[in-house]
Amino acid sequence: MYEDIFESIRHAAEKRNLRERTIQLYCSDVSYFLCCTNKPVTDLTLEDADAFLTMKRLEGRSPETHNHYRSSIKFLYKRVLKITWDDEEVPAMKRERNLPTVLTPQEIHAVIEATDNLKHKAIIATMYSSGLRVSEAVHLHYDDISRTNMTIHVRETKGRIDRYTILSQRNLDLLTEWSMPRKISPATRPWSAHTWTGIIKAATSMCILSLTACGNTMWNARASWSGPAIPVPDISTIYRKIT
């Protein structure tokens, strides 16, 4: 019914080099929005978008979900239908900024040791040792691992900026134990990010019952315990150095 609209969304998104997953979510959200409004596309107004998003907010949807719908509808209005969009009239919901769960090095070691599945242990250890997000770990390939330089080439990163990260000998030994005898890549999309988030939560809960873990728990821990904090000089010290 709305094939032309979806095609226009895809065309506009591809011009901006958006990811395929983003395009699919835009089309899915717009389809739901159009079914809820039950109006011809040519009759849509800014009030329709505001009413739909208000309904989602009153249903108790999270700020992240609300803002995701808003982004999709905003893209439809501005890039496809050329309808004037007003951020003041249709504002985004403010998100809560909670501190992430940070495991101690001892807790990380306990989680890895308690994981019996060798594949799970290798990926969890890699996420912690090399500081990978779940979304980065699921895109890791065998050729990204440099045994000569002891580094990992991280692709498909947040913000589309590739980077290199460290690879410890212990982690390399664990990856080799899992992958090399089978002649397979360490992680050629080893399931989805959602699946791996569940695996990490399950592995963590076995050791730390009171913890509410998330998919990037290992990444948060690596960022927190990667080394001693660097002291920040006071402004008078900086001033003396530049004068």
CB within 8 Å of 86: residues ≥ 6 apart: 46
pTM higher than the cut 0.85: no
CA distances for 131 relative to 152, 166, 190, angstroms: 10, 8, 17
Rounded-to-integer distance, Cα 32 and Cα 183, Å: 44
Domain spans of the chain? 3-80, 105-224
The tokens for 26 are: 């835009």
Higher pLDDT, 198 or 100: 198
Is the pLDDT at 194 greater than 60? The verdict is yes
| pLDDT computed for residue 240 by the predictor | 43
Which of 78-87, 173-182, 232-241 is the most confident on average?
78-87
CATH class of 105-224: mainly alpha
pLDDT in tens, 87-144: 999 999 988 777 666 777 788 888 888 888 888 888 888 888 888 888 888 888 888 8
| pLDDT computed for residue 210 by the predictor | 52
Please give the span between the terminal C-alpha atoms of the chain, in angstroms, as a whole number: 69
The tokens for 18 are: 């958006």
| pLDDT computed for residue 82 by the predictor | 93
DSSP 188-226: SS-S-HHHHHHHHHHHHHHH-TT----TTHHHHHHHHSS
Cβ atoms 86, 77 nearer than 8 A:
no
Cβ atoms 146, 133 nearer than 8 A:
no
Higher pLDDT, 202 or 117: 117
In terms of CATH architecture, what is 3-80?
Orthogonal Bundle (1.10)
The tokens for 219 are: 């990444």
| pLDDT computed for residue 235 by the predictor | 37
